[in-house]
Amino acid sequence: MMSYIGSRAQTSRRLLGCQVWKNCPESVLTQRQQQHMHLARVFSAFARRNKLHPLPLETLLSTLPRPPSSFLPEIQEHLRQSTRGGRRRKLVVVDDDPTGTQSVQGFPVLSEWTAEALAREIEDDSTPGFFLLSNIRALSARDAEHVLREIRTGLDAALKINDVHYMTTSPASVLPVHLTPFAQDKAFGFSTSNLKDWKLGGGVKAEDVASITLDDIRRGGPTGVRDKLLSLARSNTTSLGTYVVVNAVTREDLECVVLGSLQAEDAGLEGSTEGEPGIRMVYRTAADWVAVRAGLSPLPPLPASALRPPPDLPSHVPSAEGGLIVVGSYVPKSSEQLCFLLENGGKEQFQGIEICVDTLFQDETARLGEMERVTAAIEEGINAGKHVVIFTSRQLRQEDGAGGLISGMKVSDSVVEIVKNLRTRPLFLIAKGGITSNDVAVKGLGLKRAMVLGPILPGVPVWECGEESKFPGMKYVVFPGNVGSSQALFEAAQKLCFPPSTSTPPSSDSKTSLASCVTPTRPVFASSSRTLDLLEAARAKGEAVGAFNVYNLEGVRAVVRAAAATNSSAILQVHPSSLEFGGQPLLELCRAGRFFVEEMGTMRGSKEKDTIAVHLDHANEAAVIEQVLATQLVDSVMCDGSAKPYEENVSWTAQMTRLAHSKGIPVEAELGRLAGEEDGLSVQEKEAKMTDPLQVPDFVEQTDIDMVAVTIGNVHGRYATNPPVLDLARLADIRAATDRLLVLHGASGLPPKVVHATIAIGAICKFNVNTEVREAAMQVIREGKAKDVLPLMQTTGEAMQRVIENKMRLFKASPSI
């Protein structure tokens, strides 16, 4: 039986509307929601011209059954126990362009499918599967069929049996796809949004295509999906197999389908012999399905530290301190990101080089001359430490009888030759666009095998080039054309800007620091901010960092000692009310806490300083923020305008963020307002307000903050209910709306299950803890056992340390929900 879930060609258009097409998992839908926020102007104009009336997302979702709980643990267990012929199953992903790797890590990527190469990957039990770069999206139907037959032949030869091919899907948008601008593309256009009418080929009619509905998934669960697939397979009497469209809205829906299909594959049919594979299925999907099918949890972006060049680069190829960014994609999103990068990157750091497409279409002499000009400019720029951005002219050439494919191939071939002719290794290479990233990797770099390291930003995978490539070990970023905000390309470049001669990120005055090259109207903090580094590293591991409010030496000592005892990172927080009492010496004490650990009763300098950051908490007055920034004693600040009306909060927070960023300091801000009382500040429950996920993209874009403190039922102080009830569905929506680091205040009193759920569901990577630590100290004082000041300091410090250690272990424990 052949089961087609969605359509990769359809989803490769990167749908960007504001309605929900019902064949879509949440992870893709929410990514499109985020993209819509940044392309609102484009879609508004398009909707006006075509008289479209988008349906509000919440209205449509309210008519659907409640989403199921996660089936990922069961998928993982099934994969662990399930084998074929005594061997682990191997997932083979035929990718029509490299953007399919955006949701996975640890997958090899191959650009060849000889029997020998495929056999090596199939025999390698250390990976769950591998990607084959077919690039069929850029080919004619006849050429694409030829490539797929080559792949099938190679797999048959490698396996000696017919194997199951797996591809990826998750069609989603907020408008029916045939109503979006992408449906009008001359090369990849389409006129229907109904998958039963899609290009199935082979004489298959729409009325012969079956459906797995949301009711099948949400009422029947994996067993219902399994039974329906088995029933369809048994009733099939044609040689064409059975085609099935799956309707999925959330990731949990997708997990349910994957588990049900795995069970159906193993169940077999009546009359099958023992050991014979059950139902054979080919999945036509989009990127997120691969991660679920492989049993992978959702991936947070890689920390900057994971993107540094390896220390043992081959010495026979000279290395430059500048990176290379290749923008071939011509869609509006790519052009918007390119403009932002060139306008905000600074001419001293980023050098833009336009490839004149008109010249490429003149005679061969003119084409070669243009390529030589660009190649020489790249070499000069990256050797001078600049990050060179080459991009094709933005005008389209689609009048070639093939919707622009022939013209595109000529432009792509020229870009490939430019990369192929480079003599110096760039610090990194970002390829913008699906076809561009495939051709640059396979033809320009000679890449035959790469390793997917994970995403640098949501939906943007990073590969490490294999030993056989032109530049072994180089980080290669596959940046899809329609992914990310207008700032995303700039942010990806910023995370990659490390000089190859050092193992640490550049300082604020380093030659390659982005902070020194941006325009004065939008300062950008250095990527080496200690707070951000700690939080990004924790999020990458599915953990969180504890941020503890301190008031004196005993508190600082308790946090630092707890961090050393549990091998954890920590953040020392100072509230303005305690700062008013302790003044600058309290900040200096926290700063000193970064440079000592207690060992044998003495304080001494230690490398442990890199695991402690200092943070100004809940600062709601500009004067306080300005004074603290002037001391240069903090690594981050929270600019708290949550008590203000929304527009005023946005304006004030944006102003404070510009001030902090100008000094290289990242900013946390709160959207919504927490109830409760802490450090003399009290907010009544009736004044509290939860974070609105629909406001998050606008708030982040207008303020440019780095960390978002969310309000989902958490409170300062003690919770009124036991156990506390947090709105985890709201948290999931917030996480889907932004890629910024998320913070949860009020972690005192949260049970382990709730803590782990917020990490797993919402990628919370910073927990604020205060009440429980203070109460531990106060309990010691109330007991009155200490007879003098020093014993009192000792015992209160020990009591606080015990609480802090427990919290640190909790934030590092593997989620089990």
How confident is the model at residue 704, as a pLDDT? 93
Give me the phi and psi of 354, to 5 degrees please. Answer: -90, 130
Strands (E), 106-157: 108-110, 129-133
Q: Specify whether the CB–CB gap between 131 and 101 falls below 8 A.
A: yes
**Max Cα distance, the chain (Å):** 94
Cβ(135)–Cβ(405) below 8 Å: no
475-479 and 545-549 beta bridge pairing? unpaired
Give the chain's residues under pLDDT 50. Answer: 1-38, 85-86, 162-174, 403, 499-528, 597-609, 676-687, 815-817
Select from 611, 674, 609 the least CA-distant residue to 638. Answer: 674
Burial of 630 (0-12, 13-18, 19+ CB in 10 A): exposed
Find out whether 44 and 53 touch, Cβ atoms under 8 Å.
no
Classify the phi-psi angles of 202: left when phi > 0, otherwise alpha if psi is within -120 to 50, otherwise beta. Answer: left
The CATH T-level fold of domain 538-634+704-811 is TIM Barrel (3.20.20)
What pLDDT does residue 675 have?
A: 52
Instruction: Let me know: does 594 contact 613? Beta carbons within 8 Å.
Output: yes
The pLDDT value recorded for residue 697 is: 92
Helices (H), 301-363: 332-344, 357-360
Domains 319-395+407-495 and 538-634+704-811 share a fold: no
What's the rounded Cα separation, in Å, for the pair 329 and 326? 9
User: What are the residues whose beta carbons fall under 8 Å from the beta carbon of 350, sequence distance 6 or more?
Assistant: 341, 342, 386, 387, 388, 389, 493, 517
Does the bond joining 723 to the residue before it have cis omega, within 30 degrees of 0? yes
112 by Cβ neighbours in 10 Å (0-12 / 13-18 / 19+) ranks as middle
Residue 273 burial by CB count (10 A; 0-12/13-18/19+): exposed, middle or buried?
Answer: exposed
Each residue of 379-411: pLDDT tens digit?
999 999 999 999 987 665 555 555 455 666 778
For residue 685, the model assigns a pLDDT of 45
Task: List all residues 6 or more positions away from 724 whose beta carbon is below 8 Å from its beta carbon.
Answer: 713, 714, 715, 749, 750, 751, 754
Q: What's the rounded Cα separation, in Å, for the pair 730 and 699?
A: 16
In tens, the pLDDT along 665-684 reads: 999 999 987 654 444 444 34
Element (H, E) at 698: helix 696-703
Give residue 38's pLDDT: 46
Q: Read off φ and ψ for residue 768, nearest 5 degrees.
A: -90, 130
Per DSSP, which regions of 552-606 are E strands? Answer: 570-574, 597-599, 602-604
Determine the residue type at 486.
S
Tokens of residue 484, six digits: 């990310």
Q: d(Cα 803, Cα 614) in Å, to the nearest integer?
A: 20
Going by C-alpha positions, the residue among 740, 680, 741, 678 that lies closest to residue 714 is 678
In 3-state terms the chain splits into helix, strand, coil percentages (rounded to 5) of 45, 15, 40
pLDDT digits (tens, 9 = 90+) for 337-365: 888 888 887 777 889 999 888 888 888 89
Concatenated DSSP letters of 755-803: HHHHHHHH-EEEEEE-HHHHHHHHHHHHHT---SHHHHHHHHHHHHHHH
Quick one: pLDDT at residue 42?
59
Rounded to whole angstroms, what are the CA distances from 584 to 417, 597, 676, 749?
Answer: 59, 22, 28, 31
Burial of 275 (0-12, 13-18, 19+ CB in 10 A): exposed
DSSP 317: S
| 0.95 exceeded by pTM | no
Instruction: Give the pLDDT score at 284.
Output: 85
Domain ranges of the chain: 1-89+169-290, 319-395+407-495, 538-634+704-811
Are 20 and 253 in contact by the 8 Å Cβ rule? The answer is: no
Res 188: pLDDT: 62
Catalytic residues: 617
Q: Which residue has the tokens 């064949």?
A: 23
Residue 27 pairs in a beta bridge with none
State the pLDDT at residue 159.
64
Rounded Cα distance, 259 and 241, in Å: 21
**How many Å apart are CA 291 and CA 293, to the nearest integer?**
6
Q: What is the C-alpha to C-alpha distance for residues 571 and 533, in angstroms, rounded to an integer? A: 12
pLDDT at 429: 96
DSSP 528-558: T-HHHHHHHHHHHTT--EEEEE--SHHHHHH
Contact of 602 with 588, CB cutoff 8 Å: no
Long-range Cβ contact pairs of 519-522 (< 8 A, separation 24 or more): 519/343, 519/344, 519/346, 522/344, 522/658, 522/661, 522/704
Cα separation, 162 vs 280, in Å, equals 9
User: Which 8-state DSSP code applies to residue 441?
Assistant: I
Structure tokens at 236: 């099939």
Q: Which residue has the tokens 């990157």?
A: 345
Domain 319-395+407-495, CATH among 3.40.980.20, 3.30.2130.10, 3.10.450.50, 3.40.640.10: 3.40.980.20
Going 31 to 282 to 132 to 311, the CA torsion angle's sign is positive
The CA distance from 535 to 492, in Å, is: 17
Task: Judge whether 519 and 346 are in contact, CB under 8 Å.
Answer: yes
What does the alpha-carbon distance between residue 37 and residue 702 come to, in Å, rounded to a whole number?
12
